[in-house]
Amino acid sequence: MFGLDHPIMQGGMQRVSTAELVAAVASAGALGFLSALTQPSPESLRKEIQRTRSLTQRDFGVNLTILPSQNPPDYEAYAQVICESGIKVVETAGRNPEFLMPMFRRHGVRVVHKCTAVKHALKAEQIGCDAVIIDGFEAAGHPGENDTPSLVLLPRAVASLTVPVIACGGFANGHGLAAALSLGAEAVSMGTRFMASRESPIHQSLKDTLIAATELDTQLILRKFRNTARVYRNEVAIEVARRETEIGCTFEDVSPLVSGSKGGEVLETGDLSRGIFWAGISCGLISDTPTVAEIVERISSEAQERIQSLASRIHVSK
């Protein structure tokens, strides 16, 4: 569908999925997504798309995350820029993208919607999405409220849908890719693994943090408000979780700690005391910061070797 050399995607991550990273993923034969809302305006997104095109000859996509807000951005204007720029695939996330589907259809844009539950994936298929990304509970960001891991959620989605399913949440190496393919996924989508690459724009100390992390070093926050988020377990995240246990706690009591501007300062400075830092459980599988091309090639090669070796370990009686 997307003309890829490898069944690997890089999800749209705010303030991380910028031109250098996305172009590197595309050039490696995988599919990268710019983060539309990283850009302060639709016109800024247009320029970032142009900048990405100057860095790669391969196609790439754009992520447009639709979130509830008292002062929402002009989603239609961002979508219009995506269409006018000739982008052929968009990754939507958050709320239902149905109101944007007619525009995307008119311009021949394929839509891949990110879901955290099978019922949401079925709705995405119903409104005409071309594929879905299914987020297991291991994922960074907002993995939903059902606590269903990829090992169960992925095959459930594959069995329930007719459109292609991409696995997300807990994938960072070739063994994970082989597992996802065996469970029926067409590809894997990774965020945390690509954060720890040379082309990633985050501070080097954060990449070192991901290398040192184990599978125990993430924290769930905002559960009280049914907006569960998985982040790196730093002092700020621990404090957010503590405040949530207090009787009468409101979102206003934690919002200064989880603000996007504070998170941006963390990414820029590497100072984990300034805010939250998104990370999935797959940080426990990361041990280096190679180039994007090395990550993609390594994962594909590992998966192929793993699949071939497993075939000899299964004996079927005739």
pLDDT tier for residue 49 given thresholds of 50, 70 and 90: very high
Q: Which of 188, 186, 205 is nearest to 196 (CA)?
A: 205
pLDDT of residue 311: 79
User: Per-residue pLDDT tens for 176-205?
Assistant: 999 999 999 999 999 999 999 999 999 999
Answer whether 231's CB lies under 8 Å from 221's CB.
Answer: yes
* The pair of three-digit structure tokens given for residue 33, joined into one six-digit string: 């997504």
Answer whether 212's CB lies under 8 Å from 126's CB.
Answer: no
Q: Which residue has the higher pLDDT, 123 or 68?
A: 123
C-alpha to C-alpha distance for 119 and 138, rounded to whole angstroms: 19
C-alpha to C-alpha distance for 167 and 154, rounded to whole angstroms: 6
Q: Domain residue spans in the chain?
A: 8-202
Helix, coil or strand: residue 142: coil
Integer angstrom CA distances of residue 207 from 155, 196, 201: 32, 5, 10
List the CATH code of the domain at 8-202: 3.20.20.70
User: Per-residue pLDDT tens for 134-154?
Assistant: 999 999 999 999 999 999 999
User: Per-residue pLDDT tens for 260-314?
Assistant: 889 999 999 999 999 999 999 999 999 999 999 999 999 999 999 999 998 788 7
pLDDT tier for residue 317 given thresholds of 50, 70 and 90: confident
Answer whether 5's CB lies under 8 Å from 30's CB.
Answer: yes
pTM of the model: 0.95
